[in-house]
Structure 1
Amino acid sequence: MDKETMLEEIEHLRKRMMEVANEKGFSSVESVQISQRLDTLLNEIQHKS
């Protein structure tokens, strides 16, 4: 995945995480899963920089 695609995915996941957190709570399984995926992408992009 190239850097631009990763940045787009990060933005998408941030928005989705906030939507899910508002609907189901920050500690819901879905919120946590999205957060973990977001963390992984942020770590990957940091290592590529």
Structure 2
Amino acid sequence: MNKDMLLSAIEEKRTELLNIAFDNGLTSPLAIEYSQELDRLLNLYEDLHIRKTKKY
């Protein structure tokens, strides 16, 4: 997945999460599921596009 596609998926999932949380509450099972999916996307972005550019 290229960087632009991943960023687009992150923004889409973030919007979905906000809508779900607004309708069902932040602690609803569905909001938690969407939050975990967003976390996975953010972690993938970090692994692919941030960590590889850092030098230790």
- Measured after TM superposition, the shift of residue 42 of structure 1 is 0.4
- State the TM-score, normalizing by the size of structure 1: 0.91
Gaps in structure 2 of 5+ consecutive residues: 50-56
**Cross-structure match for 2:22:** 22
Bigger Rg over Cα: 2
Paired-residue identity, %:
33
Segments of structure 1 that go 5 or more residues without pairing to the other structure are none
Match of 2:13 in 1: 13
Structure 1 residue 2: Cα displacement: 1.5
RMSD: 0.7
User: When the two structures are superposed, what TM-score results if normalisation uses the length of structure 2?
Assistant: 0.81
How many angstroms apart in 2 are the aligned matches of 1:14 and 1:41?
10
Question: Which consecutive segments of 4 or more residues in structure 1 shift more than 4 A?
Answer: none
